[in-house]
Amino acid sequence: MDKKVLVAVSGGVDSSTAMMLLKDQGYEVIAAHMKMWDYAEVGGESRRDGRCCSLESINDLRSICTAHNIPFYVLNFVDRFREIVIDNFVSEYRAGRTPNPCILCNTHLKWEGLLNKALQLGCDFIATGHYARIVKDDKYSRYIIKKGLDDSRDQSYALWGLTQEALSRTLFPLGEYRKKDVREMAAKYDLKTAKTPESQDICFVADNNYHRFLKEWEQKEGGGGKGFRPGKIVKENGEVVGEHKGVAFYTVGQRRGMGIAHPTPLYVKKIDPESNTVVVGDNDDLFTDSMKVTKLNWVALDNPQEPFRAEVKIRYLHTPAKAGIEPHAKDTVTVRFDKSQRAVTPGQSAVFYDDDTILGGGVINSSKK
Amino acid sequence: MTNPSQFIYLWNLTDVFELEVFLKQIYLDNNSTTPLDERVLEAMLPYLKEVYGNASSVHNFGREAKTAIEEAREKIADLIGADPSEIYFTSGGTESDNLAVMGTAYYKEKKRNHVITSAIEHHAVLEAVKFLEKRNFKADYIGTDEAGIVSADELKEKITDQTSIVSIMHANNEVGVIQDIASLSEIVKSKGAVFHTDAVQSAGKIKVDVNELNVDMLSMTGHKMYGPKGTGILYIRKGFKLTPLFYGGHHEKRRRPGTENVAGIVGFAKALELAESLRENDHKRWAELSELLIDGIQSKIPDVFLNGPRDARRIPSTVNLSFKAIEGESIILSLDMKGVAVSSGSACTSGSLEASHVLLAMNVPVELAQGSIRFSLGRFTTREDIEYTISVLPEIIERLRAMSPLYEKSN
């Protein structure tokens, strides 16, 4: 085949297995690890050891690559990552929204920054260990992203931002396999990384303590305390029920950590940074029927102008909900759910599926009953 | 003697006599480190095998080791115009630099608390000075002109009788520029300050004599001159004192305790001796080959600029070129895939996209600084190596420029 592919490797089992698969399939493989943050900057390091992106796993990667004659490079994306992902992460929380940094990392760091690098190095494709599939589809005559074969492990949700140009240059070797097959393959290849535990949290918050991270970042970078000033927690009718520590520390649907004594459980329903208040309600109040989604990217569909139906995921861990989608001018759609959905959260990504195919996606802007 | 810079791997000689010929491997990164010369290895072997005694021991095993060290010390002193008592063995250039700068600064702290260095120093000096600044010493970093020559005027201006030490490198690792150490020394001595020079890149390539240079302290390392890694020396002129970095036994007159790396020391001495004997010939060869490289590249590729002087003020084996409108990292990786090893900035900062502090001090514009590559020739570099490099580079640069949003073909 002799086609050249740059595989983005994290040190985890998926990307290493993807790399070996591609080599077996006859591609000329180059492995690249993206360095995106410094422990010194983001803190929480002690929990990182042995996980993907840790020094240990990188060393394991290096020895796998040496053993199989695969050139291995570490590429420095720290500045861009800070600008594009971390700064956005902090400013979204400050604005009372709940960000999904993996989306920005995929769309801009991997499928722009790393892709450019790969092309500069004469590669035809980049590949990752993402559990998803790409198909050049006749029905849509575009590159489409499909869920991985094993629905329960599907990672397509985080890929909605990829452009046609990016997709035309991408390989996802693992999408056709079941997750347990992947671990078996890793063991067969005798990969040291086969033992690397999976990471579910945000990669640059190693100890999963977002509050710590946000506080430390604010102290370092300043920002006038926006989002970190205490304010009132109120019910919909305006009744004050408590004090919040700063809107940055809350997310829609949150129940714990509010310090409110109340006969019935109260959940965060809305965050209003303008008035610096957090609005709470009971569980029923969390259900909304429609939402507005912006910052759209179309995958299988090509900038649709007419309404259409889809199954919509509003969070990574969410069962897609049937809805009608109405495009408006200026990069906005209104999504009307057949059944009300719980805790629709501004800042999270909404991804529109047609069965296992991604039609497109965007960022949730607001929701209402 | 084997030529390590060019070899063909014979792999998988099966019954059918299938030969897989691997890519040529060309090493043009000698400023970052050099291969161990066979003759140095020969000299070291007995001290890794039979002569294993601790040089401080009273018995015969110890005496043998001790003799080897003292002979090495004499040889080294002789080669650089020093007295054996002025040679101290360390773990390498970084340690020697740290010992000279911090050792002197601490020793003189009560009466003088100002240190001076240049803006183009190696990080082993810069970081030591930055550390001192955090400890309430004052520091100045002397700038250079566009050729990389340290400004004598600025030094005269900044030096005071509060200055304890001035450290200016003899030859720069990134661009090869050579400072006029002897002249700078006059300025330093006039204020009674100590003058240290980092001769890590100049040793074995140009004449290094402590009297000609008129320095009080001088650092050298083995692995830049075909010697082993992990060994170096600090020359300290008689009468000059410093506060040690290490505390322990009585080795090296208590200035650098620790059981001696006998094999390393013997290797260092042999490496320096060899380098001195080959220096003039190597210098001529490098002058020729580097001109071939620069001309070859500039004639085939437009918008390529040499950083550093194109005359006798530059170590000829160092060729630092800026390729307009593209990133150095992409060039390095592409060359690596063609079997050519080079670097950009210094080895210590590779992987970082920051433009080199040396190039920035020389006023090279940031975009050009980010597209810079250092080719550093060595003892084993051949004409064929240079010709091959010249042949593979144009396609790489063309491809990268075609993708670069910054490059506009000038008509």
Count other C-beta atoms under 10 Å from residue A85's C-beta.
25
Q: Do A120 and B351 touch (CB under 8 A)?
A: no
In a domain, A70, yes or no: yes
Helices (H) and strands (E) in chain B, counts: 12, 12
Give the Cα separation of B349 and B357 in Å (integer): 10
What is the domain partition of chain B in residue ranges? 26-35+278-403, 38-273
Give the Cα separation of B140 and B142 in Å (integer): 6
Residues with Cβ within 8 Å of B110's Cβ and at least 6 positions away in sequence, in order, are none
* Among A37, A121, A169, the residue to mutate for chain B (most B Cβ within 10 A): A121
Q: Does B336 touch chain A (CB under 8 A)?
A: yes
In Å, how far are B147, B212, B326, B352, B358 from B366, measured between CA atoms? 16, 37, 11, 14, 11
Q: Does B12 touch chain A (CB under 8 A)?
A: no
Angle at Cα B204 formed by Cα B278 and Cα B208, nearest 5°? 120
In a domain, A243, yes or no: no
A120 → closest Cβ in B330, B351, B352? B330
Active site residue A52: no
Distance from CA of B142 to the nearest CA of A (A): 29
Chain B partners within 8 Å of A30 (Cβ): 337
Tokens 């790409």 label which residue? A134
Encoding tokens for residue B318? 């160092």
Residue type for position B9: Y
A122 → closest Cβ in B327, B353, B399? B399
Chain B partners within 8 Å of A75 (Cβ): 329, 351
Instruction: Give DSSP secondary structure letters for A43-108.
Output: --GGG-TTSTTSHHHHHHHHHHHHHTT--EEEEE-HHHHIIIIIHHHHHHHHTT----HHHHIIII
Looking at domain B38-273, its CATH architecture is 3-Layer(aba) Sandwich (3.40)
Q: What backbone torsions phi and psi does residue B395 show, to the nearest 5 degrees?
A: -65, -40
Strand partners, B194: B165
pLDDT given for residue B103 in this prediction:
97
Active site residue A203: yes
Count other C-beta atoms under 10 Å from residue B53's C-beta.
18
Residue whose C-alpha is closest to residue A174's, from A291, A16, A356: A16
In a domain, A258, yes or no: no
Q: Do A121 and B334 touch (CB under 8 A)?
A: yes
A 179-208 residues with CB below 8 A of B? Answer: none
Residue whose C-alpha is closest to residue B267's, from B30, B4, B41: B41
Distance, CA of A151 to chain centre:
17
| Residue A99, domain CATH | 3.40.50.620
Residue type for position B227: G
Q: Do B334 and A122 touch (CB under 8 A)?
A: yes
Distance from CA of B246 to the nearest CA of A (A): 28
SS (H, E, C) A215-264: HHHHHHHCCCCCCCCCEEEEECCCCEEEEECCHHHCCCCCCCCCCCCCCC
In a domain, A117, yes or no: yes
Evaluate whether A312 touches A323 at the Cβ level (below 8 Å).
yes
Distance from CA of A257 to the nearest CA of B (A): 41
pLDDT given for residue B192 in this prediction:
96
Evaluate whether A268 touches A280 at the Cβ level (below 8 Å).
yes
Tell the CATH superfamily of the B26-35+278-403 domain.
Answer: Aspartate Aminotransferase, domain 1 (3.90.1150.10)
Q: Which residues of chain B have pLDDT under 50?
A: 1-21, 410-411
pLDDT given for residue B4 in this prediction:
41
Give the Cα separation of B311 and A12 in Å (integer): 51
Give the Cα separation of A125 and B215 in Å (integer): 56
Residue whose C-alpha is closest to residue A200's, from A67, A317, A285: A317
In Å, how far are A4, A172, B283 from A26, measured between CA atoms? 9, 15, 46
Encoding tokens for residue B7? 């070899």
Chain B partners within 8 Å of A34 (Cβ): none
What tens-digit pLDDT sequence spans chain A (369 residues)?
579 999 999 888 889 999 999 999 999 999 999 988 876 677 765 555 556 667 777 888 888 898 899 999 989 898 899 999 999 999 999 999 999 999 999 999 999 999 999 999 999 999 999 999 999 877 768 999 999 988 778 899 999 999 999 999 999 999 989 888 888 898 888 887 776 666 667 888 878 888 889 988 888 887 778 889 999 999 989 899 999 989 999 999 998 777 777 888 899 999 999 999 999 999 999 999 999 999 999 999 999 999 999 999 999 889 999 999 999 988 999 999 999 999 999 999 999 999 999 999 999 999 988
Strands B304-307 and B318-323: antiparallel
The number of distinct structural domains making up chain A is 1
In a domain, A112, yes or no: yes
Residue whose C-alpha is closest to residue B313's, from B210, B213, B179: B179
pTM: 0.81
pLDDT given for residue A49 in this prediction:
57
Could you tell me the residue range of the domain that residue A45 belongs to? 4-129+173-195
Q: What backbone torsions phi and psi does residue A293 show, to the nearest 5 degrees?
A: -125, 135
In Å, how far are A132, A143, A162, A300 from A138, measured between CA atoms? 19, 9, 19, 11
Which long-range contacts does A255-263 make (Cβ < 8 Å, 24+ apart)? A258/A233, A260/A233
Count other C-beta atoms under 10 Å from residue B16's C-beta.
6
